[in-house]
Amino acid sequence: QQQVKQSPQSLIVQKGGISIINCAYENTAFDYFPWYQQFPGKGPALLIAIRPDVSEKKEGRFTISFNKSAKQFSLHIMDSQPGDSATYFCAARAPQEGAGNKLTFGGGTRVLVKP
Amino acid sequence: NAGVMQNPRHLVRRRGQEARLRCSPMKGHSHVYWYRQLPEEGLKFMVYLQKENIIDESGMPKERFSAEFPKEGPSILRIQQVVRGDSAAYFCASSPTSASTDTQYFGPGTRLTVL
């Protein structure tokens, strides 16, 4: 029930195209859904996050769409650039009183943007 | 403001040796999370600590693994009698509080190779 399933595993997109990454979850207690970007040899960095009371959030070229009834959320990268080539992870958090903020991660999507 | 620091960045151990991984959280952060990333996989939660306390170790193997976050100094993840299956990237993240709105900031990771 703690699992977050992410697809596709890898994605190739032309410069200027749209990258779409999807995640699905089972645990309805999840209340916070961040996306992280990771470059080779680096730690993950927060890209954008959403809460389930919002259906969409946009920051620059990055948009999260959230479908609470379907228990799915997705990341859209508009006007993809070669510098966006990285691995993207979705994650989710279930509130636990006094037990912190641990994240459950999807398996990751490796995005390659071709010039 | 320095980010999350981890050292060493790379660690090579032979089977049966001990591995010690260090994590210095961001200044002002008193909450530390450790995650493990196996090759081509997402991050898996291991343990959550506050200063001098282990709050949640539900993701940590019961044997050979231990973690601490002393009053002074970095958080330490200790792996005794390492085996080849321990080879992975180990990331720590820190946050200022345990609030769900707090971002977890990740360090660059320690890549452990067990020969």
Q: What pLDDT does residue B98 have?
A: 73
- How confident is the prediction along chain A (115 residues), in pLDDT tens digits per residue? 568 999 999 999 999 999 999 999 998 888 899 999 999 988 999 999 999 889 999 999 999 999 999 999 999 999 999 999 999 999 998 877 666 778 999 999 999 999 9
Residue A82 DSSP SS3: helix
Q: What pLDDT does residue B100 have?
A: 65
Q: What pLDDT does residue A98 have?
A: 62
Query: Which chain A residue has the Cα nearest residue B111?
Result: A41
CA distance B25 to chain A (A): 13
Q: What pLDDT does residue A101 have?
A: 77
Q: What pLDDT does residue A97 have?
A: 65
Task: Using 50 as the pLDDT threshold, list the residues of chain B that sit under it.
Answer: none
CA neighbor of A22 nearest in space, from A74, A90, A77: A74
DSSP string, chain B: ----EEE-SEEEE-TT--EEEEEEPPTT--EEEEEEE-TTS-EEEEEEEETTEEEE-TTS-SSSEEEE--SSS-EEEEE-S--GGG-EEEEEEEESSS-TTPPPEE---EEEEE-
CA neighbor of B57 nearest in space, from B66, B47, B67: B47
Residue B59: count other Cβ atoms within 10 Å of its Cβ: 17
Q: How far apart are CA A63 and CA A74, in angstroms?
A: 8
Q: What pLDDT does residue A19 have?
A: 96
Q: What pLDDT does residue B1 have?
A: 53
Best residue in B43, B46, B69, B98 to probe A by mutation, most A CBs within 10 Å?
B43
Would you tell me which residues 87-106 of chain B have a C-beta closer than 8 angstroms to some C-beta of chain A?
91, 93, 95, 98-106
The answer to whether the beta carbons of residues A77 and A19 sit under 8 Å apart is: yes
End-to-end CA distance of chain B, in Å? Answer: 37
